[in-house]
Structure 1
């Protein structure tokens, strides 16, 4: 009984508009019955029928039309207050009124349904546009899934989840949409909304799958670029190493062959000089091999960098420790900027800074100005030293190998390494994105 009462009460506005409004129009026009025609009253009633059709649908408007005809016949067609019609022309008016009322009801209902479908399509289109735009602005897969979940929940007014861990079970109340093939995520949505909003949900399913594929392609392209850079750096390192090894090795072979030649007679002083040449060139070779071992230990040619936060002071201390025999000489002339927070692979950056300091010591002059920090979108290490015309040749001291090591480290950080020269100073700059 309570349920039936609630249902009947829910139709009170429609019933009032259908039964009472036509009667009210006739009663208001009744005092003017001698001055207006039944056709004028019919026009007012048809206006109400159009309003009824627009707000409550064609069925209630059709009933309103029939009620209006009956009330009009009762009050405005002689003989009054009966349903008899003595003038046949009124039958034509009543038929036309009924036809117009039904036609207005149907056309108004069609217009209402078209407007509803148009609003629905615009809402779906807006939701798809916002989803495509939001996914394009997020470069992280988990962020894209969270954004999709929030957007769909807001658009549908119900809880929608995007699950990336394990496939959820489908129930009577919820449906599961797989994202991609094979599935990389699943959209858990109430089944009723899958029926009422299939376009938006299937578009979200497709856009998420395309976004995941785009992220995979972008990551693969990034890996290919890194691999190409590593191969390029490897080629450059091998070329530089071959170049740097050739001169000291030729000197060692020449001096040792001269000492081993029985036909050549050397004084004690000459023999000592040749032995000293062999020892010095052996030290240079040893330095080259130490740098190669540095590359091997850091796995520079196939290294997945470990990004951490660290202080610039820790970086300087680690770099000096790698050049223990020269740390005292470097420390005496090294002026560092205030400590700054950096982010990157500490081990690789220590190797790069150690080579920068070593090159500055061999080929430049004190003081050495070291600045580290970030300038907006990039971290930087900037080492400046004065020119030294009396410096040893680059070939003898491995300057090329050290520079290539720095470039390789910069490449692994998606950055760059440059040597900037002017008339008084040389500045080595290593930069990488934040």
Structure 2
């Protein structure tokens, strides 16, 4: 019948302790042999010093028990071999009793002192190793990452400290180090390990392999104790049951587990806070969206309803000009509603990160020209000047997205500037990018609001709104999202006299496809 693993561990510990006593006896025997070799050249006090030195060596190398045995053996060996009559324990000179007493007191004192110094040095070394391991774990955890990343870091450090394979489990969650290692599988297939894990969580102490609690378990279970609660456990499966963890190594594993528990709790609380913040932000966005819809849709719907009801009730009595004007009102308000819904859908795509950019190398003036045609009616009363140099390179862009950026910026300029003012669109190359500028001649953006204008549903009020109404407060938000998706940035440039928006389009893109000569000729 095979011996249980914990019995083997206890046998190894007993063997180690017995070997310390054997070495203590051997050192004293070596001191006695040295004294016998030099007895003719040494005085009795010199031999006593050799024995005291041997006791000091034993006290420095081993625990107090072997040091005490060495002290008693040194007195006996000194009396037997170096005090007349030799090779007997009889003492003819009563003065030697005082010598024995002094030797015993000095040997015990020196043994105790050296043992204490050795233990203090050992404790200092263990604390240094523990602090080094704790610092390494804290440094990795401070680098950030989600819970799964932290599980990997903690498992790696505890595996090194515990000389085994570590896994991390959180209570009340499916988070674990390795996919599929859920409670009831892997290390938890063993009933002894499950019992040890339950005991460790309930009592907040280490259990399982190498401990006095649930020692029959094949793994050591360390509770993850945060300052407020136990958040889970760490299991350490030894690579070899012949290698028993020392008390210092087990303490190091426990310290690392406590540090990991605090980090896990901070991450869990942070994630809960972020989730709550996202929910609050989503609720705020939903409220703002409903408010915007109820406000912005009410006006065009009222216009459509009024014009349509007039046409239905008394279309025959209305002159053709009035009928045409009402039809144009219906058409314009319908287009206004279409723009609003389009902006809302674009904003949802931008916020969800669902914007797919299909870059192709093409001239920037094509996207600008299409945008000018689409907003031609809304730019009535504004002179638009384009300043695109003839040597402007091709840019890797998604034409439809950049076209939408131009439309939103041009509509924004027309909406916030009085009729008769000009709008200028220019572009130039700078630092591996093309910079595009859309500038109007209106009142401009107030100082301090350079970032505010890009917030969702933000609208300029008061004297700044000199153009026709109809803005949803989403155009600039969408523009920034589309430009960011291209790898560029959009910002407000102050000091140009009027509102000035600039954005960059990086020139890094897919390779330019060169068509063969036959295709070009065809």
Unaligned runs of 5+ in 2: 1-10, 169-176, 191-216, 239-243, 380-384, 443-464, 505-522
Q: Cα distance, 1:234 vs. partner?
A: 2.8
Q: Deviations over 1:214-241 (max 9, x none)?
A: 3423431551464266257537745873
Q: Deviations over 1:258-286 (max 9, x none)?
A: x96999xx9x7xx52x4554454444322
1:369 maps to 427
Match of 1:406 among 476, 495, 503: 476
Higher deviation after alignment, 302-311 or 219-228: 302-311
Give SS of 1:159's match: strand
Higher deviation after alignment, 132-141 or 409-418: 409-418
Match of 2:102 among 93, 96, 99: 96
CA RMSD of aligned residues (A): 5.5
1:367–1:386 Cα contact (<8 Å) kept: yes
Match of 1:396 among 455, 463, 468: 468
Equivalents in 2 of 1:139, 1:290: separation in Å?
Answer: 43
Give SS of 1:188's match: strand
Equivalents in 1 of 2:267, 2:339: separation in Å?
Answer: 41
Match of 1:234 among 289, 300, 304: 289
Q: Cα distance, 1:326 vs. partner?
A: 1.9
2:348 maps to 300
1:366–1:385 Cα contact (<8 Å) kept: yes
Q: Cα distance, 1:53 vs. partner?
A: 0.9
Whether 1:291 and 2:339 are equivalent positions in the alignment is: yes
Judging changes above 3 Å, is the alpha-carbon distance between structure 1 residues 186 and 238 closer, same or farther for their aligned structure 2 residues? same
Whether 1:188 and 2:206 are equivalent positions in the alignment is: no
Match of 1:113 among 114, 119, 124: 119
Q: Cα distance, 1:80 vs. partner?
A: 4.7
Equivalents in 2 of 1:215, 1:384: separation in Å?
Answer: 41
Q: Pairwise mapping of residues 62-73 of structure 1 onto structure 2 (< 5 A)?
A: 62-73=68-79
Judging changes above 3 Å, is the alpha-carbon distance between structure 1 residues 94 and 384 closer, same or farther for their aligned structure 2 residues? same
Q: Deviations over 1:112-151 (max 9, x none)?
A: 3344344434433443343334223213222211111222
Equivalents in 1 of 2:277, 2:130: separation in Å?
Answer: 35
Unaligned runs of 5+ in 1: 376-380
Equivalents in 1 of 2:246, 2:235: separation in Å?
Answer: 10
1:149–1:161 Cα contact (<8 Å) kept: yes
Q: Cα distance, 1:160 vs. partner?
A: 1.9
1:255–1:278 Cα contact (<8 Å) kept: no
Q: Cα distance, 1:101 vs. partner?
A: 1.8
1:160–1:187 Cα contact (<8 Å) kept: yes
Higher deviation after alignment, 173-182 or 196-205: 173-182
Give SS of 1:396's match: coil
1:173 maps to 218
Whether 1:156 and 2:162 are equivalent positions in the alignment is: yes
Equivalents in 2 of 1:423, 1:83: separation in Å?
Answer: 111
1:382–1:427 Cα contact (<8 Å) kept: no
Q: Cα distance, 1:100 vs. partner?
A: 2.8
1:367–1:385 Cα contact (<8 Å) kept: yes
1:146 maps to 152
Q: Pairwise mapping of residues 258-337 of structure 1 onto structure 2 (< 5 A)?
A: 272=321, 274-275=322-323, 277-298=325-346, 300=348, 304-306=352-354, 311=359, 326=374, 333=386
Whether 1:23 and 2:33 are equivalent positions in the alignment is: yes
Judging changes above 3 Å, is the alpha-carbon distance between structure 1 residues 278 and 307 closer, same or farther for their aligned structure 2 residues? closer
Judging changes above 3 Å, is the alpha-carbon distance between structure 1 residues 46 and 144 closer, same or farther for their aligned structure 2 residues? same
1:175–1:194 Cα contact (<8 Å) kept: no
2:28–2:73 Cα contact (<8 Å) kept: yes
Equivalents in 1 of 2:50, 2:397: separation in Å?
Answer: 81
Higher deviation after alignment, 279-288 or 294-303: 294-303
Give the alignment's TM-score, normalised by structure 1. 0.67
Give SS of 2:187's match: coil
Q: Cα distance, 1:92 vs. partner?
A: 1.9
Judging changes above 3 Å, is the alpha-carbon distance between structure 1 residues 22 and 107 closer, same or farther for their aligned structure 2 residues? same
Judging changes above 3 Å, is the alpha-carbon distance between structure 1 residues 423 and 302 closer, same or farther for their aligned structure 2 residues? closer
Judging changes above 3 Å, is the alpha-carbon distance between structure 1 residues 58 and 262 closer, same or farther for their aligned structure 2 residues? closer
2:61 maps to 55
1:194–1:201 Cα contact (<8 Å) kept: no
Give SS of 1:190's match: strand
Judging changes above 3 Å, is the alpha-carbon distance between structure 1 residues 252 and 428 closer, same or farther for their aligned structure 2 residues? farther
Q: Cα distance, 1:19 vs. partner?
A: 0.9
1:53–1:60 Cα contact (<8 Å) kept: yes
Whether 1:210 and 2:265 are equivalent positions in the alignment is: yes
Equivalents in 2 of 1:83, 1:190: separation in Å?
Answer: 55
2:275 maps to 220
Whether 1:43 and 2:38 are equivalent positions in the alignment is: no
Q: Cα distance, 1:68 vs. partner?
A: 2.8
1:233–1:404 Cα contact (<8 Å) kept: no
Equivalents in 2 of 1:180, 1:9: separation in Å?
Answer: 37
2:254 maps to 199
How many corresponding residue pairs? 400
Q: Cα distance, 1:90 vs. partner?
A: 0.6
Give the alignment's TM-score, normalised by structure 2. 0.58
Judging changes above 3 Å, is the alpha-carbon distance between structure 1 residues 418 and 93 closer, same or farther for their aligned structure 2 residues? same
